[in-house]
Amino acid sequence: MFKLTRQVLQAACSRCSSAHQLLPKKTGQQYASVRRMCIKILDTDSEDEGSLPRRAMIYVPGSDLRKLAKLSSLHVDCAVMDCEDGVAANQKDAARQNISQMLDTLHTPHVRDLTVRVNSVSSGLAEDDIKTILKAERLPDTMILPKVDSVGHIQWFGDKVEQALDGRELHHKMRLLICVESALGLLHLPALCEEGLWQSHNTPFALEGVIFGSDDFCADIGAHRTDDAMELLYARQKIVTVAKAYGLQAIDLVHINYTDLQCLERQALEGAHMGFTGKQVIHPNQIPVVQKSFTPSQEKIEWARELIEAFHEHHEDGKGAMSFRGSMIDMPLVLQAKNILRMAENT
């Protein structure tokens, strides 16, 4: 067994043509295992700035200046200025120009995360998006890369962002969210998360989450959208599982009937119970419903705080199993309580 030094790990994360050259020759499977170990070691040793909460994520077409201007009065965790699906083909250039201008002039005091979604790598439009948008004096907090099907898409994105920034000094890394919108993307998701985290150590962005693009996914597998979204249950569960395995946020599907707030609330709560950290929205009226659904109630916060206090007192006394409010408590419930308090602190 060879010794992995810090210097080797840092070198392996650099943007060289092949990280394999820096490590002893192994099979592809063994190398993947070594790389996963490198990611864990570097993540443990790196400075963690913490993730921005993204309970509600609203899309605004970059081609519509009137709608972009309304972001100044919007109260939402994440606002996405869109170059992709929300923009007609003949308005793509106008959208990227508008977004670049708005980044420098728009005041958004109640938006925590001002985000830009570029076009997909396969569209051939993403490079122009990146070049134009990253000319702005104020860079977006986060960038979204849609329709990610292969690790090559993430590698291409990293290269183009570095070229566009051209050595520009950043006070902090931009954040990256990737979208899973096809069967292939879902199958490759573990590798996509690994690649994003691997590159986060030596590129201008840090991968923070995975977004589920449900409509494109349905089209790709030939499914029909239903109100209860049962046709998407497997995909939703896999996205949550893989994202959480890599310490990433998971953003749930859009509820396209924006007038049915009751159904929206039901679906949002379902997503929160499944483990999603937020949900995409397409209309301002959806924001309060969604953000409330992904915010622990005061009653739940008090339950979590009291449970953890009782657990610590119980263990300090050297006792074994414990009962709390009529229920037996074990470590998984304690971890759930800690998650609730963590969510409450972030919101």
Longest Cα pair distance anywhere in the chain, in angstroms? 70
CB count within 10 Å of CB 334 equals 18
Q: Which residue from 149, 151, 197 is spatially nearest to 176, judged by alpha carbons?
A: 197
Q: Which residue has the tokens 């030939």?
A: 222
- As a whole number of angstroms, the distance between CA 38 and CA 90 comes to 45
The helix/strand/coil state of 304 is helix
The yes-or-no answer on residue 330 being catalytic is: yes
Contact call for residues 192 and 154 (beta carbons, < 8 A): yes
Tokens of 309: 């206090």
Q: Residue 64's closest CA among 87, 34, 48?
A: 87
Count Cα neighbours of 214 within 13 Å in the Cβ-side half-sphere: 23
Structure tokens at 179: 């979208």
- Which residue in the list 104, 227, 228, 330 is annotated as catalytic? 330
Q: Are 295 and 54 in contact (CB under 8 A)?
A: no
Q: Tell me, what DSSP letter sits at residue 47?
A: P
In angstroms, the CA 347 to CA 345 distance is: 6
Report which residue type is found at 26.
K
Query: Residue 174: which residues within 8 A CB-CB, separation 6 or more?
Result: 139, 140, 141, 142, 143, 161, 204, 205, 206
- SS3 state of residue 58: strand
Give me the active site residues, please: 330
